[in-house]
Amino acid sequence: MAASSIDSITTRRELALHYHELASPDQLTPAERQVWEAARAATAHSYAPYSHFHVGAALLLADGSLVQGTNQENAAYPSGLCAERTALFGLAGNRPGPPPLIVGMAVAGRPAQGEFGPALPCGACRQVMLEYEVRQGQPIWLLLPSVSGTVLRFERLADLLPFHFSADALPPQA
């Protein structure tokens, strides 16, 4: 089908992604800096004997406390888990009742022998992160190190996964 034929039967839409790009971590607020450093520190506890890429994640809770997670690899590769999900699942699994309110989150990554660099969440992590934001009904800001060495600050996780799967897509429960 020629492009002109497609244009006559479709509606073209555009999607805008909103985030801030900070030249360096020095531009972070004190609370953002705290969660940024906690994510970096968490990389020391990751288990990455196969990829040799150590990832840490940190959650800042409304009460000011921090929760960290790290990537955990396994020789049976699909059995491992990313840092973002270990932080979120650990938060929910170790406290009675609903998970506490998450204000912000940061991710950090580094090779076993090297400097910190880009560490962008995979699709599965983005889906899980977004579901926590939806569950709590309030945005969660996110800090990510970019490929160019800047800091990307997202005001809400929904901007990372605009066409996400949600409970709305599931059949009604009987």
User: For the chain, which residues make up each domain, given as ranges?
Assistant: 19-150
pLDDT 10s digits, 142-152: 999 998 889 99
Show the DSSP H helices in the chain as ranges. 3-9, 30-42, 83-93, 123-136
Over residues 67-98, the pLDDT tens digits come to 999 999 999 988 999 999 999 999 998 888 88
Beta strands in the chain (DSSP E): 20-22, 53-61, 66-70, 102-111, 141-145, 151-154
pTM: 0.89
As a whole number of angstroms, the distance between CA 145 and CA 148 comes to 8
Catalytic annotation, residues: 84
Assess contact for 58 and 38: CB atoms under 8 A.
yes
CATH architecture group of domain 19-150: 3-Layer(aba) Sandwich (3.40)
